[in-house]
Amino acid sequence: MLAGAVSMALAVGLAGCASTRPAQPAAGPGTVVVFAAASLKSAFTQIGSQFKAQNAGSNVEFEFAGSSELATQLTQGATADVFASADTAQMDAVARAGLLAGDPADFASNTLVIVTAPGNPKKVGSFSDLARPGLGVVVCQQPVPCGSATQRVEDSTGVRLHPVSEEPSVTDVLNKVTTGQADAGLVYVTDARGAGNKVATVSFPEAAGAVNRYPIAVLKHAPQPTLARRFVALVTAEAGQNILAQSGFAKP
């Protein structure tokens, strides 16, 4: 009886000691936070899935928005590991603020196209058609990269648009067209492809003079610098490049 009581007391004491030990941190390398241009959502979501498969226990959190909005957030103190911009201007703004861990790498390029309702009911056939009176056109606002590209086309052609709306991201422009709130919009090739039969696509030769190159970089104060470098490496490697190409992106 005495021996049994002693054994039970020891067991209880050990259990009590175990319960007071501090909890151990969860296993796994952590979460990489990626700020990325809205036009990258489809491709980067796929790349993120591949990244998690290659880095067991890791996770990727994306913040997709207009590049200028993301750059502003970063320069105002937002925390992230990676920044992927839809043009060099917004990456340069983040670099001037001293927020990059190293030189950015160009990983893709994108070109503007016109999107309309399916069947192109307004018979838009050229960039100059977008200036027709009565045509409801929506574009990206500046300095969002798609807005800057639109401005470059206007400057090179002398055609001045009078949009009914200027949106903060290219996905917002696309949404205005697919929901019938606009007759036509200027988006990237990749966005038009992703919309499928929800839109008709009209290419125009002047867009070749306003191609946007996409840079990516690890941020200086990245909470997960190792994961950040691995993510950038995947984007720039063959696997990431294949996913980007399937989404309609061209080489940088």
Residue position matching structure tokens 């340069």? 92
Are 44 and 36 in contact, with CB atoms under 8 Å apart?
yes
Residue 60 annotated as part of some ligand binding site: no
Residue 168: cis peptide before it, omega within 30 degrees of 0: no
Question: Strand 165-167 and strand 137-140: pairing?
Answer: parallel
- Whole-number Å distance between alpha carbons of 75 and 50: 29
Of 17, 11, 47, 15, the closest CA to residue 32 belongs to 47
Task: Give how far Cα 104 sits from Cα of 65, 164, 191, 211, Å.
Answer: 19, 35, 24, 18
- Could you give the maximum distance between any two Cα atoms of the chain, in Å? 101
Residue position matching structure tokens 């009581």? 5
- Whole-number Å distance between alpha carbons of 205 and 228: 37
**In this structure, is the dihedral angle defined by the CA atoms of residues 220, 224, 226 and 231, taken in order, positive or negative?**
negative
φ/ψ of 136, rounded to 5, equals -80, 100
User: 3-state DSSP call for residue 106?
Assistant: strand
Residue 128 annotated as part of some ligand binding site: no
Query: Which residue positions form the known binding site for molybdate?
Result: 39, 67, 170, 188
Binding positions are 39, 67, 170, 188
